[in-house]
Structure 1
Amino acid sequence: MKPHVARILYPSIVAIVLLTLWQGIVTGFKLPPYLVPSPILMLQTLVTDWQALGLALLFTLKITLFSFLTAVVVGVLISFVFVQSRLVETALFPYAVLLQVTPIVAVAPLIIIWVKNPTASLVICATLVALFPIISNTTLGLRSIDPDLQSYFAMNRANRLQMLFRLRVPSALPYFFGGLRISSGLALIGAVVAEFVAGTGGSSTGLAYQILFAGYQLNIPRMFAALLLISLTGVALFVLMAWLSKLALGSWHASELSRD
Protein backbone atom coordinates (compact mmCIF):
# COMPACT_ATOMS: atom_id res chain seq x y z
CA MET A 1 0.00 0.00 0.00
CA LYS A 2 1.27 3.46 -0.91
CA PRO A 3 2.32 5.60 2.08
CA HIS A 4 0.00 8.51 1.26
CA VAL A 5 -2.96 6.13 1.01
CA ALA A 6 -2.06 4.51 4.34
CA ARG A 7 -1.85 7.92 6.04
CA ILE A 8 -5.48 8.52 5.10
CA LEU A 9 -6.89 5.00 5.33
CA TYR A 10 -5.65 3.94 8.78
CA PRO A 11 -6.79 7.07 10.67
CA SER A 12 -10.14 6.83 8.85
CA ILE A 13 -10.62 3.25 10.03
CA VAL A 14 -9.83 4.26 13.62
CA ALA A 15 -12.29 7.17 13.37
CA ILE A 16 -15.06 4.90 12.06
CA VAL A 17 -14.46 2.38 14.85
CA LEU A 18 -14.52 5.08 17.54
CA LEU A 19 -17.67 6.73 16.15
CA THR A 20 -19.41 3.35 15.89
CA LEU A 21 -18.44 2.55 19.47
CA TRP A 22 -19.66 5.98 20.62
CA GLN A 23 -22.99 5.54 18.81
CA GLY A 24 -23.39 2.04 20.24
CA ILE A 25 -22.74 3.16 23.83
CA VAL A 26 -25.17 6.08 23.61
CA THR A 27 -27.86 3.93 22.01
CA GLY A 28 -27.28 0.88 24.19
CA PHE A 29 -27.30 2.75 27.50
CA LYS A 30 -30.00 5.19 26.28
CA LEU A 31 -27.97 8.20 27.37
CA PRO A 32 -29.98 11.44 27.14
CA PRO A 33 -28.77 14.07 24.62
CA TYR A 34 -28.23 16.65 27.35
CA LEU A 35 -25.49 14.41 28.78
CA VAL A 36 -23.81 12.88 25.73
CA PRO A 37 -25.29 13.27 22.24
CA SER A 38 -24.77 10.56 19.67
CA PRO A 39 -22.57 11.23 16.62
CA ILE A 40 -25.63 11.11 14.38
CA LEU A 41 -27.43 13.73 16.48
CA MET A 42 -24.28 15.88 16.54
CA LEU A 43 -24.05 15.79 12.74
CA GLN A 44 -27.77 16.53 12.42
CA THR A 45 -27.32 19.55 14.70
CA LEU A 46 -24.36 20.67 12.63
CA VAL A 47 -26.57 20.65 9.54
CA THR A 48 -29.64 22.28 11.08
CA ASP A 49 -27.63 24.99 12.92
CA TRP A 50 -25.12 25.54 10.15
CA GLN A 51 -26.10 29.16 9.54
CA ALA A 52 -25.04 30.25 13.03
CA LEU A 53 -22.17 27.76 13.35
CA GLY A 54 -20.83 28.56 9.89
CA LEU A 55 -20.65 32.31 10.62
CA ALA A 56 -19.02 31.55 13.97
CA LEU A 57 -16.48 29.31 12.22
CA LEU A 58 -15.58 32.08 9.78
CA PHE A 59 -15.06 34.53 12.63
CA THR A 60 -12.84 32.14 14.60
CA LEU A 61 -10.93 31.22 11.45
CA LYS A 62 -10.35 34.91 10.69
CA ILE A 63 -8.91 35.51 14.16
CA THR A 64 -6.79 32.35 13.87
CA LEU A 65 -5.31 33.21 10.48
CA PHE A 66 -4.57 36.84 11.38
CA SER A 67 -2.92 35.71 14.62
CA PHE A 68 -0.94 32.97 12.90
CA LEU A 69 0.38 35.27 10.16
CA THR A 70 1.28 37.94 12.72
CA ALA A 71 3.09 35.35 14.86
CA VAL A 72 5.04 34.10 11.83
CA VAL A 73 6.16 37.56 10.73
CA VAL A 74 7.04 38.78 14.23
CA GLY A 75 8.65 35.47 15.24
CA VAL A 76 10.88 35.29 12.16
CA LEU A 77 12.00 38.91 12.56
CA ILE A 78 12.85 38.32 16.22
CA SER A 79 14.78 35.17 15.28
CA PHE A 80 16.77 37.13 12.70
CA VAL A 81 17.73 39.59 15.43
CA PHE A 82 18.61 36.84 17.90
CA VAL A 83 20.91 35.05 15.48
CA GLN A 84 22.96 38.18 14.81
CA SER A 85 24.15 38.46 18.40
CA ARG A 86 24.45 35.97 21.25
CA LEU A 87 24.30 38.89 23.66
CA VAL A 88 20.92 40.05 22.32
CA GLU A 89 19.57 36.50 22.36
CA THR A 90 20.77 35.90 25.92
CA ALA A 91 19.23 39.17 27.09
CA LEU A 92 15.84 38.85 25.36
CA PHE A 93 15.11 35.13 24.96
CA PRO A 94 13.92 34.72 28.59
CA TYR A 95 11.17 37.23 27.84
CA ALA A 96 10.03 35.11 24.90
CA VAL A 97 9.86 32.18 27.30
CA LEU A 98 7.88 34.38 29.68
CA LEU A 99 5.25 34.89 26.98
CA GLN A 100 4.97 31.14 26.57
CA VAL A 101 4.57 30.25 30.24
CA THR A 102 2.19 33.10 31.15
CA PRO A 103 -1.43 31.82 30.92
CA ILE A 104 -3.30 33.77 28.28
CA VAL A 105 -6.41 33.79 30.47
CA ALA A 106 -4.46 35.91 32.96
CA VAL A 107 -3.47 38.65 30.51
CA ALA A 108 -6.37 38.51 28.04
CA PRO A 109 -8.72 40.64 30.20
CA LEU A 110 -6.09 43.39 30.35
CA ILE A 111 -5.49 43.28 26.59
CA ILE A 112 -9.23 43.42 25.94
CA ILE A 113 -9.50 46.48 28.22
CA TRP A 114 -6.46 48.25 26.72
CA VAL A 115 -7.34 47.52 23.06
CA LYS A 116 -10.76 48.92 22.28
CA ASN A 117 -11.21 47.07 18.98
CA PRO A 118 -12.57 43.56 19.83
CA THR A 119 -11.08 41.85 16.78
CA ALA A 120 -7.65 43.41 17.34
CA SER A 121 -7.63 42.41 21.01
CA LEU A 122 -8.49 38.80 20.13
CA VAL A 123 -5.74 38.74 17.48
CA ILE A 124 -3.17 40.03 19.98
CA CYS A 125 -4.16 37.41 22.56
CA ALA A 126 -3.95 34.56 20.05
CA THR A 127 -0.67 35.87 18.63
CA LEU A 128 0.95 35.75 22.07
CA VAL A 129 0.00 32.08 22.32
CA ALA A 130 1.31 31.19 18.85
CA LEU A 131 4.51 33.26 18.89
CA PHE A 132 6.96 31.20 20.93
CA PRO A 133 7.22 28.07 18.70
CA ILE A 134 8.13 30.27 15.75
CA ILE A 135 10.83 32.10 17.72
CA SER A 136 12.21 28.96 19.33
CA ASN A 137 12.26 26.70 16.26
CA THR A 138 13.46 29.33 13.81
CA THR A 139 16.24 30.51 16.12
CA LEU A 140 17.37 26.92 16.64
CA GLY A 141 17.35 26.33 12.90
CA LEU A 142 19.30 29.49 12.16
CA ARG A 143 21.92 28.38 14.69
CA SER A 144 22.08 24.78 13.38
CA ILE A 145 24.38 25.27 10.41
CA ASP A 146 27.24 23.11 9.18
CA PRO A 147 30.51 24.46 10.65
CA ASP A 148 32.37 23.57 7.45
CA LEU A 149 29.89 25.57 5.36
CA GLN A 150 30.16 28.45 7.79
CA SER A 151 33.96 28.37 7.43
CA TYR A 152 33.59 28.23 3.64
CA PHE A 153 31.34 31.30 3.61
CA ALA A 154 33.74 33.13 5.95
CA MET A 155 36.69 32.20 3.75
CA ASN A 156 34.88 33.74 0.79
CA ARG A 157 34.25 36.87 2.84
CA ALA A 158 30.48 36.59 2.88
CA ASN A 159 28.79 39.42 4.72
CA ARG A 160 26.08 39.02 7.38
CA LEU A 161 23.18 39.24 4.93
CA GLN A 162 24.74 36.63 2.62
CA MET A 163 25.38 34.33 5.58
CA LEU A 164 21.80 34.81 6.74
CA PHE A 165 19.89 34.30 3.51
CA ARG A 166 22.18 31.88 1.68
CA LEU A 167 23.32 29.68 4.57
CA ARG A 168 21.26 30.10 7.72
CA VAL A 169 17.78 30.41 6.18
CA PRO A 170 18.01 27.21 4.05
CA SER A 171 19.36 25.33 7.07
CA ALA A 172 16.52 26.64 9.25
CA LEU A 173 13.64 25.74 6.92
CA PRO A 174 12.90 22.27 8.43
CA TYR A 175 12.84 23.77 11.93
CA PHE A 176 10.72 26.68 10.71
CA PHE A 177 8.08 24.42 9.18
CA GLY A 178 8.06 22.33 12.33
CA GLY A 179 7.30 25.53 14.22
CA LEU A 180 4.49 26.31 11.78
CA ARG A 181 2.76 23.01 12.53
CA ILE A 182 2.79 23.77 16.25
CA SER A 183 2.00 27.46 15.96
CA SER A 184 -1.02 27.01 13.67
CA GLY A 185 -2.75 24.85 16.27
CA LEU A 186 -1.79 27.21 19.09
CA ALA A 187 -3.20 30.15 17.14
CA LEU A 188 -6.54 28.35 16.99
CA ILE A 189 -6.39 27.54 20.70
CA GLY A 190 -5.46 31.13 21.50
CA ALA A 191 -8.34 32.46 19.41
CA VAL A 192 -10.87 30.20 21.13
CA VAL A 193 -9.53 30.95 24.62
CA ALA A 194 -9.54 34.69 23.90
CA GLU A 195 -13.15 34.44 22.74
CA PHE A 196 -14.06 32.64 25.96
CA VAL A 197 -12.42 35.37 28.03
CA ALA A 198 -13.91 38.20 25.97
CA GLY A 199 -17.39 36.68 26.04
CA THR A 200 -18.45 38.87 23.14
CA GLY A 201 -22.01 38.76 21.84
CA GLY A 202 -23.80 39.98 18.78
CA SER A 203 -23.31 38.89 15.19
CA SER A 204 -19.48 38.88 15.10
CA THR A 205 -18.97 35.94 17.42
CA GLY A 206 -16.88 32.83 17.18
CA LEU A 207 -17.26 29.19 18.04
CA ALA A 208 -16.35 29.80 21.68
CA TYR A 209 -19.41 32.00 22.08
CA GLN A 210 -21.55 29.32 20.43
CA ILE A 211 -20.23 26.81 22.97
CA LEU A 212 -20.97 29.16 25.87
CA PHE A 213 -24.44 29.98 24.56
CA ALA A 214 -25.23 26.30 23.96
CA GLY A 215 -24.06 25.51 27.49
CA TYR A 216 -26.39 28.11 28.98
CA GLN A 217 -29.28 26.55 27.04
CA LEU A 218 -28.17 22.97 27.79
CA ASN A 219 -28.06 22.47 24.04
CA ILE A 220 -25.29 19.87 24.30
CA PRO A 221 -25.58 18.59 20.69
CA ARG A 222 -24.87 22.10 19.43
CA MET A 223 -21.95 22.38 21.83
CA PHE A 224 -20.49 19.14 20.47
CA ALA A 225 -21.06 20.34 16.90
CA ALA A 226 -19.06 23.51 17.64
CA LEU A 227 -16.31 21.43 19.25
CA LEU A 228 -16.25 19.24 16.14
CA LEU A 229 -15.74 22.30 13.95
CA ILE A 230 -12.86 23.48 16.14
CA SER A 231 -11.21 20.05 15.98
CA LEU A 232 -11.63 19.76 12.21
CA THR A 233 -10.22 23.26 11.78
CA GLY A 234 -7.16 22.32 13.83
CA VAL A 235 -6.63 19.17 11.76
CA ALA A 236 -7.02 21.13 8.53
CA LEU A 237 -4.43 23.69 9.64
CA PHE A 238 -1.97 20.94 10.56
CA VAL A 239 -2.48 19.19 7.22
CA LEU A 240 -2.00 22.49 5.38
CA MET A 241 1.28 23.15 7.22
CA ALA A 242 2.45 19.59 6.51
CA TRP A 243 1.63 20.09 2.83
CA LEU A 244 3.55 23.36 2.72
CA SER A 245 6.50 21.62 4.38
CA LYS A 246 6.37 18.84 1.80
CA LEU A 247 6.14 21.39 -1.00
CA ALA A 248 9.16 23.35 0.24
CA LEU A 249 11.38 20.49 1.42
CA GLY A 250 10.14 17.44 -0.48
CA SER A 251 12.70 17.58 -3.26
CA TRP A 252 15.85 18.00 -1.18
CA HIS A 253 15.61 17.54 2.59
CA ALA A 254 16.07 14.18 4.31
CA SER A 255 13.08 14.69 6.61
CA GLU A 256 10.74 14.55 3.59
CA LEU A 257 12.73 12.15 1.42
CA SER A 258 12.81 9.40 4.08
CA ARG A 259 10.68 6.35 3.23
CA ASP A 260 10.45 4.97 6.79
Structure 2
Amino acid sequence: MTAGGANPAVIINALAARWPDLHVIMEAPESKLDIARRRARRFGWINSLGQLATMIAARLLRRVASRRIAQICQSQGLDPVIGAQIPVSEVASINNPECLQLVRSLQPSVILLISTRLLAKKMLAEIPCPVLNLHSGINPIYRGQMGGYWSLVENDIGNFGATVHLVDAGTDTGGALYEVRAAPSKGDFISTYPMVLTAAAKDIVLRSVEDAVHGKLKPFTPEGPSILRFPPPVWTWLRYGLTRGIW
Protein backbone atom coordinates (compact mmCIF):
# COMPACT_ATOMS: atom_id res chain seq x y z
CA MET A 1 0.00 0.00 0.00
CA THR A 2 1.33 3.41 -0.92
CA ALA A 3 0.39 6.95 -1.92
CA GLY A 4 2.89 6.75 -4.78
CA GLY A 5 6.19 8.41 -5.58
CA ALA A 6 9.71 7.44 -6.58
CA ASN A 7 10.70 5.98 -3.21
CA PRO A 8 7.84 3.47 -3.02
CA ALA A 9 8.33 2.60 -6.70
CA VAL A 10 11.91 1.49 -6.01
CA ILE A 11 10.70 -0.97 -3.36
CA ILE A 12 7.67 -2.07 -5.36
CA ASN A 13 9.82 -3.01 -8.34
CA ALA A 14 12.27 -4.89 -6.12
CA LEU A 15 9.43 -6.83 -4.51
CA ALA A 16 7.81 -7.60 -7.87
CA ALA A 17 11.07 -9.04 -9.15
CA ARG A 18 10.97 -11.54 -6.27
CA TRP A 19 7.19 -12.03 -6.04
CA PRO A 20 5.50 -11.60 -9.46
CA ASP A 21 2.04 -11.84 -7.88
CA LEU A 22 2.58 -8.56 -6.02
CA HIS A 23 -0.43 -6.22 -6.07
CA VAL A 24 -0.24 -2.50 -5.32
CA ILE A 25 -3.02 -0.58 -3.60
CA MET A 26 -2.53 3.11 -4.37
CA GLU A 27 -4.30 5.65 -2.18
CA ALA A 28 -4.84 9.31 -3.01
CA PRO A 29 -2.37 11.53 -1.12
CA GLU A 30 -3.70 13.66 1.72
CA SER A 31 -4.23 17.27 0.77
CA LYS A 32 -1.77 19.81 2.14
CA LEU A 33 -4.70 21.69 3.70
CA ASP A 34 -5.88 18.61 5.62
CA ILE A 35 -2.35 17.98 6.86
CA ALA A 36 -1.96 21.63 7.91
CA ARG A 37 -5.25 21.57 9.80
CA ARG A 38 -4.32 18.39 11.65
CA ARG A 39 -0.94 19.77 12.66
CA ALA A 40 -2.50 23.08 13.68
CA ARG A 41 -4.62 21.22 16.21
CA ARG A 42 -1.42 19.78 17.67
CA PHE A 43 1.09 22.64 17.34
CA GLY A 44 -0.96 25.75 16.55
CA TRP A 45 -1.27 27.48 13.19
CA ILE A 46 2.11 29.26 13.31
CA ASN A 47 4.10 26.05 13.57
CA SER A 48 1.78 24.22 11.21
CA LEU A 49 2.20 26.85 8.51
CA GLY A 50 5.95 26.90 9.19
CA GLN A 51 6.10 23.16 8.49
CA LEU A 52 4.02 23.64 5.36
CA ALA A 53 6.41 26.37 4.20
CA THR A 54 9.34 23.96 4.50
CA MET A 55 7.56 21.44 2.30
CA ILE A 56 6.77 24.13 -0.26
CA ALA A 57 10.39 25.29 -0.25
CA ALA A 58 11.55 21.72 -0.74
CA ARG A 59 9.19 21.32 -3.69
CA LEU A 60 10.71 24.41 -5.29
CA LEU A 61 13.98 22.46 -5.30
CA ARG A 62 12.32 19.54 -7.08
CA ARG A 63 14.58 19.78 -10.13
CA VAL A 64 17.71 19.54 -7.98
CA ALA A 65 16.19 16.67 -6.01
CA SER A 66 15.18 14.83 -9.19
CA ARG A 67 18.74 14.94 -10.50
CA ARG A 68 20.15 13.57 -7.25
CA ILE A 69 17.45 10.87 -7.02
CA ALA A 70 18.24 9.82 -10.58
CA GLN A 71 21.93 9.54 -9.61
CA ILE A 72 21.11 7.35 -6.62
CA CYS A 73 18.88 5.07 -8.66
CA GLN A 74 21.33 4.80 -11.55
CA SER A 75 24.28 4.02 -9.29
CA GLN A 76 22.37 1.24 -7.52
CA GLY A 77 20.35 -0.15 -10.40
CA LEU A 78 17.00 0.99 -9.01
CA ASP A 79 13.88 1.91 -10.97
CA PRO A 80 11.87 4.88 -9.59
CA VAL A 81 8.84 4.20 -11.81
CA ILE A 82 6.40 1.36 -11.08
CA GLY A 83 6.69 -1.30 -13.76
CA ALA A 84 3.83 -1.39 -16.26
CA GLN A 85 3.31 -5.10 -15.60
CA ILE A 86 2.53 -4.57 -11.90
CA PRO A 87 -1.22 -4.44 -11.11
CA VAL A 88 -2.30 -1.28 -9.30
CA SER A 89 -5.70 -0.69 -7.69
CA GLU A 90 -6.58 2.86 -6.70
CA VAL A 91 -8.53 3.79 -3.57
CA ALA A 92 -9.33 7.12 -1.94
CA SER A 93 -7.75 6.04 1.35
CA ILE A 94 -6.26 2.88 2.80
CA ASN A 95 -8.78 3.32 5.64
CA ASN A 96 -11.86 3.21 3.41
CA PRO A 97 -14.18 0.16 3.29
CA GLU A 98 -13.35 -0.29 -0.41
CA CYS A 99 -9.73 -0.89 0.54
CA LEU A 100 -10.68 -3.53 3.10
CA GLN A 101 -12.87 -5.26 0.51
CA LEU A 102 -9.93 -5.26 -1.89
CA VAL A 103 -7.62 -6.74 0.74
CA ARG A 104 -10.12 -9.51 1.45
CA SER A 105 -10.43 -10.34 -2.23
CA LEU A 106 -6.65 -10.41 -2.74
CA GLN A 107 -5.98 -12.53 0.38
CA PRO A 108 -2.36 -11.38 0.78
CA SER A 109 0.20 -13.21 2.91
CA VAL A 110 1.63 -9.87 4.03
CA ILE A 111 0.99 -6.16 3.50
CA LEU A 112 3.76 -3.57 3.32
CA LEU A 113 3.03 0.13 3.85
CA ILE A 114 5.30 2.66 2.16
CA SER A 115 4.53 6.38 2.38
CA THR A 116 0.86 6.16 3.34
CA ARG A 117 -1.32 7.90 5.87
CA LEU A 118 -1.60 6.14 9.25
CA LEU A 119 -3.55 2.90 9.10
CA ALA A 120 -6.59 3.25 11.35
CA LYS A 121 -6.78 0.94 14.37
CA LYS A 122 -10.16 -0.41 13.23
CA MET A 123 -8.81 -1.16 9.76
CA LEU A 124 -5.71 -2.85 11.14
CA ALA A 125 -7.86 -5.13 13.30
CA GLU A 126 -9.75 -6.34 10.21
CA ILE A 127 -6.66 -7.26 8.19
CA PRO A 128 -5.94 -11.00 8.49
CA CYS A 129 -2.20 -10.93 7.74
CA PRO A 130 0.93 -9.22 9.07
CA VAL A 131 1.21 -5.53 8.20
CA LEU A 132 4.72 -4.11 7.88
CA ASN A 133 5.96 -0.57 7.39
CA LEU A 134 9.14 0.82 5.87
CA HIS A 135 10.08 3.81 8.00
CA SER A 136 12.78 6.28 6.96
CA GLY A 137 14.22 6.62 10.42
CA ILE A 138 15.61 4.56 13.29
CA ASN A 139 12.96 3.76 15.88
CA PRO A 140 12.09 4.70 18.53
CA ILE A 141 14.18 7.89 18.67
CA TYR A 142 13.27 9.01 15.13
CA ARG A 143 9.64 7.98 14.82
CA GLY A 144 7.32 9.97 12.58
CA GLN A 145 8.68 12.05 9.73
CA MET A 146 12.10 13.20 8.53
CA GLY A 147 14.02 10.76 10.71
CA GLY A 148 17.16 11.03 8.60
CA TYR A 149 17.10 14.82 8.71
CA TRP A 150 16.65 14.95 12.48
CA SER A 151 19.48 12.48 13.09
CA LEU A 152 21.83 14.89 11.29
CA VAL A 153 20.50 17.90 13.19
CA GLU A 154 21.13 16.08 16.47
CA ASN A 155 24.71 15.12 15.48
CA ASP A 156 23.63 11.48 15.46
CA ILE A 157 24.78 10.44 11.99
CA GLY A 158 25.27 6.89 13.28
CA ASN A 159 21.48 6.66 13.42
CA PHE A 160 20.87 7.99 9.91
CA GLY A 161 18.94 4.93 8.90
CA ALA A 162 15.70 3.10 8.23
CA THR A 163 13.56 0.54 10.03
CA VAL A 164 11.15 -2.13 8.88
CA HIS A 165 8.65 -2.78 11.65
CA LEU A 166 5.28 -4.31 12.37
CA VAL A 167 2.36 -1.89 12.29
CA ASP A 168 0.35 -1.42 15.46
CA ALA A 169 -2.08 1.25 16.63
CA GLY A 170 0.68 3.82 17.25
CA THR A 171 2.96 5.84 15.00
CA ASP A 172 6.05 3.73 14.21
CA THR A 173 5.71 1.95 17.56
CA GLY A 174 5.34 -1.66 16.38
CA GLY A 175 8.05 -4.25 16.94
CA ALA A 176 11.15 -3.69 14.80
CA LEU A 177 12.16 -6.40 12.34
CA TYR A 178 15.33 -5.03 10.76
CA GLU A 179 17.33 -1.80 10.78
CA VAL A 180 19.90 -0.42 8.37
CA ARG A 181 22.25 2.57 8.62
CA ALA A 182 23.46 4.66 5.70
CA ALA A 183 25.32 7.91 5.06
CA PRO A 184 24.13 10.89 3.01
CA SER A 185 26.37 12.46 0.40
CA LYS A 186 27.35 16.12 0.34
CA GLY A 187 24.63 17.01 -2.18
CA ASP A 188 21.77 15.40 -0.26
CA PHE A 189 19.11 17.45 1.51
CA ILE A 190 15.66 17.09 3.03
CA SER A 191 14.08 16.00 -0.28
CA THR A 192 16.69 13.34 -1.07
CA TYR A 193 17.40 11.82 2.35
CA PRO A 194 14.35 9.52 1.99
CA MET A 195 15.66 8.05 -1.28
CA VAL A 196 19.09 7.48 0.26
CA LEU A 197 17.39 5.54 3.04
CA THR A 198 14.98 3.72 0.74
CA ALA A 199 17.84 2.48 -1.40
CA ALA A 200 19.72 1.34 1.69
CA ALA A 201 16.62 -0.43 3.04
CA LYS A 202 15.75 -2.47 -0.05
CA ASP A 203 17.40 -5.65 1.21
CA ILE A 204 15.85 -5.51 4.69
CA VAL A 205 12.43 -4.99 3.12
CA LEU A 206 12.88 -8.10 1.00
CA ARG A 207 14.08 -10.02 4.04
CA SER A 208 11.12 -8.86 6.15
CA VAL A 209 8.57 -9.81 3.51
CA GLU A 210 10.26 -13.19 3.06
CA ASP A 211 10.06 -13.76 6.81
CA ALA A 212 6.37 -12.80 6.86
CA VAL A 213 5.50 -15.09 3.95
CA HIS A 214 7.12 -18.03 5.74
CA GLY A 215 5.82 -17.19 9.21
CA LYS A 216 9.28 -16.40 10.58
CA LEU A 217 8.88 -12.83 11.79
CA LYS A 218 10.94 -12.09 14.90
CA PRO A 219 10.09 -8.58 16.12
CA PHE A 220 12.22 -6.96 18.80
CA THR A 221 11.95 -3.82 20.90
CA PRO A 222 14.73 -1.36 20.01
CA GLU A 223 16.38 0.59 22.80
CA GLY A 224 16.44 4.33 23.26
CA PRO A 225 14.05 7.20 23.96
CA SER A 226 10.83 7.31 21.96
CA ILE A 227 10.42 10.64 20.16
CA LEU A 228 7.81 11.46 17.51
CA ARG A 229 9.22 13.74 14.80
CA PHE A 230 7.61 16.17 12.38
CA PRO A 231 8.91 18.27 9.48
CA PRO A 232 10.90 21.28 10.72
CA PRO A 233 9.22 24.68 10.42
CA VAL A 234 10.88 26.77 7.74
CA TRP A 235 12.79 28.97 10.21
CA THR A 236 14.37 25.87 11.80
CA TRP A 237 15.21 24.40 8.41
CA LEU A 238 16.85 27.66 7.30
CA ARG A 239 18.77 28.03 10.57
CA TYR A 240 20.38 24.60 10.38
CA GLY A 241 20.92 24.94 6.65
CA LEU A 242 22.68 28.29 6.90
CA THR A 243 24.67 27.60 10.07
CA ARG A 244 25.50 23.90 9.69
CA GLY A 245 24.84 23.02 6.07
CA ILE A 246 22.02 20.62 6.97
CA TRP A 247 19.31 21.30 4.41
TM-score over 0.5 (shorter chain):
no
Higher helix share: 1
- Structure showing greater radius of gyration is 1
Greater relative contact order (Cα < 8 A, sep 6+): 1
* TM-score when normalising by structure 2: 0.25
Higher strand share: 2
* TM-score when normalising by structure 1: 0.24
